Amino acid sequence: MIVFDFGSEKKQSTYSDYLKTPEGGKFQLIGGEIIERTSPSLYHQRIIARFLTIFNNYILSHNLGEAFVAPLDVHFTDTETYQPDILILLTESFSKMQENKIEGAPDLIVEVLSPSTAYYDLKHKKSIYEKQGVKEYWVVDPIDKTVEIYQNQNAKFHLIAELTKTDTAKSQLIAGMEVELEKIF
């Protein structure tokens, strides 16, 4: 992971600074720091692809919305712009789609942990997702082969499921959307 330093004094970067990063890069603006992620492992990518396939098959066949995969910017504030591994926008949230980003909280976010991003995914980003109104947050641990599902109620995440690879993950937000985790890990 690379952290960009814009001078000897630690300067808080803003969205306008973030827009100067190379297009298509794996950059995120987290707490006013521009951070470049390294490429994820093949296993990490495989997990994302499997989730995305299952989500899109269900969501598109029921005309509920659309799922997207990183790199796609989600702009929350002037110092917080992320590229979640997977995000889902339900049809009533399509107004958040802009040409090059999602403006505001997606309905559902999935983050697959990796050594370089786990701290951010579990702490800082989770806190921002919670405050900004992400309705459901899935945290996938590829090493332990587990999934935690959080539901947002009154701007506070509540853990609603701790699952292992033999369980089925069920969305509380999207009725009927289920993932047999043995098909993921």
pLDDT, tens only, 124-176: 999 999 999 999 999 999 999 999 999 999 999 999 999 999 999 999 999 99
Query: Looking at this protein, which amino acid is placed at residue 83?
Result: Q
Q: Backbone phi, then psi, for 176, in 5-degree steps?
A: 90, -10
Distance from the first to the final alpha carbon of the chain? 25
CA angle 156, 30, 51 (to 5 degrees): 65
Helix (H, G, I), strand (E, B) or coil at 162: strand
pLDDT digits (tens, 9 = 90+) for 71-127: 999 999 999 999 999 999 999 999 999 999 999 999 999 999 987 777 677 889 999
CATH of span 40-183: 3.90.1570.10
Q: Which sequence spans correspond to the domains of the chain?
A: 40-183
Tell me the whole-structure pTM to 2 decimals: 0.88
| Residue closest to 126 by CA, chosen among 142, 99, 148, 96 | 148
Query: What phi, psi does 159 have (nearest 5°)?
Result: -70, 120
Token pair for 122: 């579990």
Residue type, 173: L
